[in-house]
Structure 1
Amino acid sequence: MKLFRKSILPVAILASTVAAPLMANSLSDLINNSVKDALYGSERENQTKQYFQRKSTFAIYQNLAADEAPETETSAEIIAVSPDGNTVLYTDSQMERLGFVDITDLSAPVAKGFLALDGEPTSVAVKGQYALVVVNTSENYKNTSGQIVVVDISDILSPTVVRTLEISGQPDSIAISPKGNYAAVAVENERDEEACADGDGGLIDEAHDDEDKCNELGGELGGLPQYPAGYLAIVDMNGQPAAWSVSDMSLEGLAIPDSDDPEPEYVAINHGNLAAVSLQENNGMVLVDLEQSKILQHYDAGSVDLTNVDATKNGLIDPIDDLLGVLREPDAVSWLSDMYVVTANEGDYLGGSRSFTIFDIPGGVKYEAATDLENKAIENGHLPEKRAAKKGVEPEGVTSAIINGRNYLFVGSERGNFIAVYTVKDPTKPEYLQMLPTGVGPEGLLAVPGRNAFLVASEKDDAGEGFRSMLTAYELSDSSNYPQITSAGNDELIGWAGLSGLVADRNDAKTLYSVSDSVMKQSYIYTIDAAQEPAKITSRATLKKSGQAVAYDLEGITQSASGDFWLVSEGKPGSSNNLLILTSAEGAIKEEYKLPEAIQAQQKKFGFEGVTVTGTGANEKVHVAVQREWEGDPDGMVKIASFMPASGEWSFVYYPLDTPVTGWVGLADMVALDDGRFAILERDNQQGDSAAIKRIYTVDLDAAKDTGLAYPVLEKSLARDVLPDMKAANGWVPDKVEGLAVGADGEVYLITDNDGLDDAVGETQFLRLGQQDSAFN
């Protein structure tokens, strides 16, 4: 089998291969010193720390035409902003258009229509009244072509194409120099990941998309080189668009693994008209002087040794693996003070260090994030465990800006659905500030310094799964409201996801407990300190049966008077029973109780969901909420089961569900109140702006009435509509609000299940509703 990857030269050797290598004493020719001073000299030592607060979430489908179905797939990928900071422009490759959203009021974005394009837009940048959109018009991977479409956006409601510049390749990224006199386009001519490359630039067609056959024939699936080669297109933007011209700069022949197939990915330009270009598949960086059309520097992006990461896809968040010599393979790049280049190391088919790196201009590493992003994801419930064996959180986007006198660095995690925000006074020591939740697949990152704002476009869109492509706006504030729950600050990393039940300790009003559902392949009880803000997961206990760890689909937890826990596990017809489980405070399983066989046989799909307990000793009674109707249940009627451990007896009543607006409605949790009533959490399965039913009702189980059905029927009273509470975070409303608890001091809490980021935004809401007397109307 051929070896296609040539040896990777050290940075020092690479520097010596460049004609007239960039020396430290020549930086003054490239750097605007006033900008440098602004970045590192304007921040006062006593300046109040500020954070970014989410102001709004705008679903891109809202910008569809009136005759286009709301479920039509859209995709906001790369974003730019008008000179006044009031209009966002986004590329929609799915719909082949450039979209516009008015953000004059960050809290209330307004759809402003779109401009149809003759191909797939991949990036956009703005100079004054003109937007430059790069469009892929290629027939296929071999026959490549593209355009730079110049759009007059002086009237957003009537954008006009004033010129189209043809380019001979498939463009990926565009950037405009801060001074506005140059634009640069990374023309990638991307590889076909399903093609079998023979290592000499040819393809083995009979092994297309067949890795075993490709290997057998001595090829590499998705390998390099694959022609035509990519290059950098440079646009001279002096004068009006009619006078603009495009020239091509070859990036071939560099000291990179596939020197004749560079695969440029992303470009950023500093105030000295120095363009930084990432060569992702070739793990390289190139610095180009746009004024001279000359390569000044190029270097190998290098590799990283990662220790204590979760690199095994097994349904466990266990950072115990080591990954050595992982190629960075940078995607997005950003300039930091014109002196440093920051790379988001997403990786490609040979690498992915799950990190970001700060390089100086000669290519020296000033800072390496290593496991920092993964650790932040673990602490805040954003680790995509299903991607553990691949590239983890996959940092794809990065940008930096001076906002209100402080230098901020933003790094986007494509798979973790978050932005990590850092402040940078010293490029060797960026200081982590906060995590911002996003939609699914954050792609476009944009700071708007004049508005003290930051914007994110999340590209993934799936109406069937309940999430949409979205634009999220954040604004500087004196406080942060995310995360609302975290495990940060413990001596050891505590991984968590899919919190699906909640109960308050009987004696300690500020101690809560939660459980993980089937998203984790090992069951845990989490201890939460609610006295802290954000609430802090302080420990997790592994459920064990006869000393061996077990995995249930836990959906509820309650605490008995003895201090033991009652848990419920949701069954699946034909494979597992619904279980009522008694454990010690440490998680040792004492007993498992099943429903009577005749009742269990009625289950359709959705089973045990919430649990609470009343009484003590021989009078202890455990009450379980069944999520949805089973066989024989009337439509809109679900069972609440009560179990007497002392006698083994089960009894049932019916609870009347609300009528769904869309989808279905079911029960999520229940809590016994001190006055003898029960609080019932009821929800629909809808997310975002389709969410309609997220409510708490109160019932008296002893007052159920015989209406001629199989079981007596409860009457319910609305205690609180919690949808406004969930919307207050200005995000995408999650469907699974699944935990309800009332502390010994009367404080009411809610928690949502983030589904382990599996077709979900991954955000966990931990809501404090206040005292019971005021929280329940």
Structure 2
Amino acid sequence: MELSRSATPIVPTIRLSASTAVVNENAGTATIPVSIQNSGPAASTVDVALVAGLGTATAGSDFTFSSPQTLTFPAGSTTDQNLVLTLTDDALPEGAEYFTLRLQNPTNGTLAAGATEYLVYLKDNDVAVPVQSRSITLSRLGSYQNGAAGTNSAEITAHDPTTQRLYVANSIGGKLDILSLTGNGTLTPVASINILPYGNINSVAVRNGIVACAIENTAPQQNGSVVFFDQNGAFLKQVTVGALPDMITFSPDGRLLIAANEGEPTTDYALDPEGTVSIIDFAGGVAGLTQASVTTVGFTVYNGLAPQLRADGIRIYGGTATTPSTVAQDLEPEYVAVAADSRTAYITLQENNAIATLDLTTKQFTSLRSVGFQDHRQPGTALDASDQTPDVLLANWPIRGLRLPDAPATFDVGGQRYLLTANEGDAREYSALTEAVRLGDAAYPLDATAFPQAALLKNRQVLGRLNVTNKLGDTDGDGDFDQIYAFGGRSFSILNATTGALVHDSGDLLERVTSTDATFGAIFNASNTTGNPARKNRSDDKGPEPEGITTGIIRDTVYAFVALERIGGLAVFDVNNPAQPRLVQYVNNRSITSGTGDQGPEGIVFVSAVNSPTRQPLIILANEVSSTVAVYGIQVRGTVTATAAPQTAAVPLYAYPNPTSGGRVHLSRPISGTVADVVVRPVRELRQTAQIETAGLAPGLYVVRAQDGATTKLIIR
């Protein structure tokens, strides 16, 4: 007798066939296909619901959806069921918006694991191209390549108006390259000085024919040096400074040199020197220079205050679990900007997301402040966060961008001093400490309460490829991340130099400028490799990475010049109103089809008209990757400054007391310009000021010259 066997029941599986889709706002509808497998003899249903909490598009105004909706699969059907949503084509210029849907409540079926949520990007078709005022225009006059890229570099450059020479820090080649800047803005080589006998070069500054190079030790964790050369590269003197001097600059009055000594650790953290700042007294010139002229200032006063500093937003996290760094070891000075009065220096501590203020008179730090983060949930702070989406999708996300500034610059408007910061971003990557991880990595768990759609966020076309830090964001110490912190602000910031308060942040403007550029939008967020540019391959990192920044005064306007390390080029802003900067121009010389042109801009120098061999203002850009130095002439709208005769000042200029026995001299009106000695060498640069500090100037006759052409004589007794 044969026994009957019951058939194994067929259980249908219902799933979404994809996780994301990009739909143009003006497409009319968005279609979301839902599929079924192993369909049985009975009908199956599933609800599609709108997910609250992960979306920026609004039901009812951006799309039409009554949640939930039920899809029915007839018995035996293998055909997809489509959810069709109506889209609203509004006329608002805005970034990409998105919404998320979820499958739930199946009947006669189960949901496929990991295939139940769907994110729909709505790509805006009304994106406004940022307006460039072009009150000034930059035109590339010339460029010089100091050797093959990869075997040479051009990272930092310094200009000496007394000799019209450029001095270029070539760290890969281990050289100081000397170039001559001609009257038409072209560059010709003069000499290359081998730096390797002293160590390796990181930065260079020049003043009246004296060249100062920041040199790291051949053992980088040991004290470095500043080596002085004459205008032709002949050795003059050498003094010792802190470990790994990364940047050096003269104070505006020429009496001091300030070096930022980064003090990076060995890769295993076996040796972690303290970060310091060295102040070199240069009042007596190179002849009076000795080791006693050097004061190196550290941060030991902050040791023991790590919890308070972290609470204030300063990142203190270096070292290993068994041997954490002290605060003084953890703070790593990156770059220095000196105020126009030569009394205060501002030092970026990039990896620490902070700025230190240094009193150059007392040689003590007076403040240590966090520069905060970009809240990418807020309007105006969108970012393109994935290199895997085919489109540029500048959207708001529940992440925070640590500004981590590289170069700062100072400027004064209306009697108030401001700081500009280029918010590049940087991560510590050592064998003993690697903080950068992909958000999608299993080793970066997201808190289920804070991020209930964690699986969707970890998708490669959402945030899964974004580089984030694993050293911040676990607010309750339970091993998962309650907040997401990415690297870099993709912006520049303007801070009140006195209080540290944020006055303005450019938000997503730099990505909007480059993505909508008629030429360079084709290589949006490309990296700075010398090969063919790949569009969007830095979107998952730090985007355009603003790195170099400087200011210059032309007529009565303060301009900020921001170099973009990755895509390349330079963005110019009018910052006369620090709370509302105006975009002036974006200029780039990189090829969009090959690895040619200027790539990887880092060092940036503004040359005023009175200091320029062309008699027009210049921008000099050192491009690290292409190993090129580019010269841009600046033309004010409606004038040809390179050939125009000097203008007659509309308002006379007077100085008092005059003669003076020293101290502070007052001017009859605020000006930008220079103070020059009897052989027409600039000895002071003036920026929107009605005062001159004469300390350090020898007795004699000087000429004060405003950029509008007005002059007055000044006698110092």
Q: Normalising to structure 2: TM-score of the pair?
A: 0.51
Q: 2:368 aligns with which of 298, 319, 341?
A: 298
Instruction: Please report how far the alpha carbon of residue 250 of structure 1 lies from its aligned counterpart in structure 2 after TM superposition.
Output: 0.9
C-alpha separation in 2, matches of 1:135 and 1:300: 28
Cα distance in 2 for residues equivalent to 1:161 and 1:284: 36
In structure 1, how many angstroms separate the alpha carbons of the residues matched to 2:215 and 2:569? Answer: 27
Mapping for residues 737-776 of structure 1, pairs under 5 Å: none
**CA deviation after TM superposition for structure 1 residue 408, in Å:** 1.1
Aligned residue in 1 for 2:634: 476
Residue 511 of structure 2 aligns with an amino acid whose one-letter code is E
Aligned equivalent of 2:580? 429
Distance 2:184 2:277 in 1: 36
CA distance in 2 between partners of 1:72 and 1:396 (Å): 20
Q: Give per-residue Cα distances to partners, 1:519-544, cap 9 Å, x unaligned.
A: xxxxxxxxxxxxxxxxxxxxxxxxxx
Deviation, structure 1 residue 71? 7.2
Q: CA deviation at 1:159?
A: 2.5
State the alpha-carbon separation in 2 of the partners of residues 48 and 386 from structure 1: 30
C-alpha distance in 1 between matches for 2:574 and 2:188: 31
The runs of at least 4 aligned residues of structure 1 exceeding 3 Å deviation read none
Structure 2 residue identity aligned to 1:237 = F
Look up the match of 1:163: 237
Match in the other structure for 1:367: 504
**Alpha-carbon deviations, 1:661-717, whole Å to 9, x = none?**
xxxxxxxxxxxxxxxxxxxxxxxxxxxxxxxxxxxxxxxxxxxxxxxxxxxxxxxxx
List aligned pairs for 1:27-176, cutoff 5 A. 49-61=135-147, 73-84=151-162, 86-117=164-195, 118-140=198-220, 143-153=221-231, 158-176=232-250
Contact 2:242–2:277, Cα closer than 8 Å, also in 1: no
User: Match of 1:264?
Assistant: 333
CA deviation vs aligned residue, 1:609-643 (integer Å, no higher than 9, x gap): xxxxxxxxxxxxxxxxxxxxxxxxxxxxxxxxxxx
1:410 aligned residue: 561
SS at match of 1:76: coil
1:420 to 556, 565, 571: 571
1:184 corresponds to which letter in structure 2? I
Higher mean C-alpha displacement, 91-100 vs 320-329: 320-329
Paired residue type of 2:355: M
* 1:309 has 2:383 as partner: yes
CA drift of 1:169 comes to 1.1
Residue 246 (str. 1) matches residue 294 (str. 2): yes
CA offset at residue 80 of structure 1?
0.4
Question: What do residues 481-507 of structure 1 show as CA deviations (whole Å, max 9, x unaligned)?
Answer: xxxxxxxxxxxxxxxxxxxxxxxxxxx
Q: Distance in 1 between matches of 2:138 and 2:246?
A: 29
- Any idea what SS the aligned residue of 1:99 has? strand
* C-alpha deviation, 1:52, in angstroms: 1.4
In structure 2, do the counterparts of structure 1 residues 191 and 376 end up closer, same or farther at CA, with 3 Å as the change threshold? farther
Q: Which residue of 2 aligns with 1:455?
A: 620
Q: Which residue of 2 aligns with 1:277?
A: 347
Query: What is the CA deviation profile of residues 329-362 of structure 1, one whole-angstrom value per residue up to 9, with x for unaligned ones?
Result: 1111111227011111111124211111111121
Q: Equivalent residue of 2:537, what SS?
A: helix
1:281 aligned counterpart, secondary structure: helix
Shift of 1:234: 0.7
The TM-score normalised by the length of structure 1 is 0.48
Aligned residues of 2:163 and 2:209 also touching (Cα < 8 A): no
Q: 1:233: which partner in 2?
A: 278
Q: Cα–Cα, structure 1 residues 149 and 74, in superposed 2: closer, same or farther, change >3 Å? A: same
Residue 423 of structure 1: how far off its partner (Å) = 1.2
Cα gap change, 1:163 to 1:58, in 2 (>3 Å): same
Distance 2:296 2:185 in 1: 43
Deviation at 1:189, TM superposition (A): 1.4
**Cα offset for 1:309?**
1.4
State the one-letter code of the partner of 2:243.
Answer: G
Which SS does the other structure have where 1:374 is aligned? helix
In 2, Cα distance between equivalents of 1:419 and 1:357: 16
| Letter paired with 1:124 | V
Residue 138 of structure 1 contacts residue 169 of structure 1 at CA under 8 Å; is this kept in 2? no
Matches within 5 A, 1:299-698: 299-306=369-376, 307-314=381-388, 315-322=390-397, 324-337=399-412, 339-349=417-427, 350=469, 351-361=487-497, 362-380=499-517, 381=521, 382-384=524-526, 385-438=536-589, 439-449=598-608, 450=610, 451=612, 452-460=617-625, 468-478=626-636
Kindly state the Cα deviation for residue 191 of structure 1 after the two structures are TM-superposed. Answer: 4.1
Instruction: Measure how far apart 1:257 and its partner are.
Output: 3.0
Displacement of 1:131: 1.1
Larger fraction in helix:
1
Distance in 2 (CA, whole Å) between partners of 1:434 and 1:97 is: 33
Give 2:344's aligned amino acid.
Answer: L
Cα pair 1:89 1:98 within 8 Å, conserved: yes
Q: Post-superposition shift, 1:48?
A: 9.6
Q: Which has the higher relative contact order, 1 or 2, with Cα contacts under 8 A spaced 6 or more apart?
A: 2
What is the identity, as a one-letter code, of the residue corresponding to 2:404?
A: E
Q: SS of the counterpart of 2:512?
A: helix
Write the deviation string for residues 403-425 of structure 1: whole angstroms up to 9, x where unpaired: 34421101111112011101121
Structure 1 CA distance, aligned partners of 2:393 and 2:401? 19
Return 5+ residue gaps in structure 2 as ranges.
Answer: 1-132, 303-308, 317-326, 428-468, 470-486, 527-535, 590-597, 639-717
* Cα distance in 2 for residues equivalent to 1:166 and 1:105: 37
Q: How many residues align?
A: 384
Instruction: Please tell me the residue identity of whatever aligns with 1:308.
Output: A
1:289 partnered with 2:359: yes
- Counterpart CA distance in 1 for 2:347 and 2:193 is 29
Once the two structures are TM-superposed, the CA of residue 479 in structure 1 deviates from its matched residue by 6.1
Contact 1:419 1:437 in 2 (8 A): yes
Q: Residues 189 and 263 of structure 1 are in contact (CA less than 8 Å); yes or no, is this contact kept in structure 2?
A: yes
Q: Which stretch shifts more, 352-361 or 99-108? A: 99-108
Partner secondary structure for residue 408 of structure 1: strand
Q: Secondary structure at the match of 2:173?
A: coil
Q: 1: distance between equivalents of 2:331 and 2:187?
A: 40
Contact 1:397 1:411 in 2 (8 A): yes
Closer/same/farther in 2, CA of residues 74 and 48 from structure 1, 3 Å limit: closer
Whole-angstrom distance in 2 between the partners of 1:137 and 1:456: 27
Aligned residue type for 2:558? N
Name the CA shift for 1:369/1:389 in 2 (closer, same or farther; >3 Å): same
Aligned to 2:258: 184
Q: Distance in 2 between matches of 1:113 and 1:479?
A: 37
CA–CA distance in structure 2, aligned partners of residues 424 and 72 of structure 1: 36
CA–CA distance in structure 2, aligned partners of residues 172 and 297 of structure 1: 21
Q: C-alpha deviations, 1:563-613, integer Å up to 9, x for none? A: xxxxxxxxxxxxxxxxxxxxxxxxxxxxxxxxxxxxxxxxxxxxxxxxxxx
Provide the residue aligned with 1:520 in structure 2. Answer: none
Q: 1:353 to 1:191 in 2, by over 3 A?
A: farther
- 1:98/1:115 contact within 8 Å kept: yes
In structure 2, C-alpha distance between the alignment counterparts of 1:135 and 1:395, rounded to whole Å: 25
Q: Answer yes or no: is the 8 Å Cα contact 1:252–1:262 preserved in 2.
A: no
CA RMSD of aligned residues (A): 2.1
Report deviation, 1:88. Answer: 1.0
The separation in 2 between residues aligned to 1:473 and 1:323, in whole angstroms, is 41
Structure 1 unaligned blocks of 5 or more: 1-46, 62-69, 197-201, 204-225, 461-467, 481-777
